[in-house]
Amino acid sequence: MTPGLDRARALLKRTRRVAVLTGAGMSAESGVPTFRDAQTGLWSQFDPMQLACEEGFRADPALVWRWYAWRRALVAEAKPNAGHRALAAARDKLSLITQNVDGLHVRAGSTHALELHGNILRSKCLSNCGKRFDTPEELPQGEPPRCLTCGDWLRPDVVWFGELLDPRILAAAESAAEDCDLMLVVGTSGLVYPAAGLPARAARRNAPVVIINPNESDLDDGADLVIRSTAALALPALFD
């Protein structure tokens, strides 16, 4: 058995409310690339300042739109893995917070997942006139399409660098972190804030922090237990 799993299972048994924070590693075994893994991460091959900020989009809307269309196709082909399914099966005991925009938690059945960074399947008007499309099938033609209400570009409904998170979703995530008695952190490098600050909020209220990640992360030092395993292996073993 992977070191730490037994201890984590014992902690979990004593727990009333678990908060789970997931990152890109959660979906790696579903075939969705992470951002910062050295060989395979998206940010090792693409420039986030070109593809993941408003300035980059305004400089070349077609390029950015096509990049997200490619990622949407990847996500559409991906299936939730055993880790997503284990979290969905335990959903009544969990507050699930994700940085992932792939929607795989919701597809696995975690219908209340707090999607901190948005959802790549949705699109919205660049001018924030309020127009939104929930699925790619509803979109008008164009690369990118134009907003039917105000005529500005449509863009993916994800949080880009330099943008604020939806305040209601962030507030719900912060409350979940502060109200839990165990925080589980799965598959995140812990480099992007405010998400990466949530485990510290739980720790300040004396909730143990347990990390599942095959590699070192920026949050390891503040954790009570680090399990060097993957999401699809460790989560089913933890919640069975």
Residues that bind ligand OAD (CB under 6 A): 23-25, 28-29, 34-37, 41, 99, 101, 117, 158-159, 186-189, 191-192, 212-215, 217, 230-231
The distance of closest approach from Cβ of residue 230 to ligand OAD in the complex, given in angstroms and rounded to an integer, is 3
Tokens of 129: 């006139």
CB-closest chain residue to ligand OAD: 25
Minimum distance of ligand OAD from residue 11's CB (angstroms): 19
Residue 73: half-sphere exposure toward Cβ, Cα within 13 Å: 5
Minimum distance between the CB of residue 92 and ligand OAD, rounded to whole angstroms?
Answer: 24
Q: Which is nearer to ligand OAD, 10 or 191 (CB)?
A: 191
Residues in contact with 63: Cβ distance below 8 Å, sequence separation at least 6, in sequence order? 50, 51
What is the nearest approach in angstroms of ligand OAD to the Cβ of residue 149? Answer: 25
* Angular region, 130: left φ>0, alpha ψ -120 to 50, beta rest: left
Annotated catalytic sites, by residue? 117
CB proximity list for 132: less than 8 A, separation 6 or greater? 122, 123, 124, 125, 157
Which residue, 120 or 206, has its beta carbon nearer to ligand OAD? 120
Smallest separation (angstroms) from ligand OAD to the CB of 108: 15
Amino acid at 135: T
Strand-strand pairing, 18-22 and 114-115: unpaired
Taking the least distance from each CB to ligand OAD, the nearer of 90 and 186 is: 186
Which residues are within 8 A (CB) of 184 and not within 5 positions of it... i.e. 6 or more apart?
A: 18, 19, 20, 21, 210, 211, 212, 238
Q: Which residue type occupies 188?
A: T
Count other C-beta atoms under 10 Å from residue 49's C-beta: 12
Q: Which residues of 149-171 are buried (b: 16+ CB within 10 A; e: fewer)?
A: eeeebbbbbbbbeeeebbeebbe
DSSP alpha helix (H) spans, 78-147: 82-89, 104-108
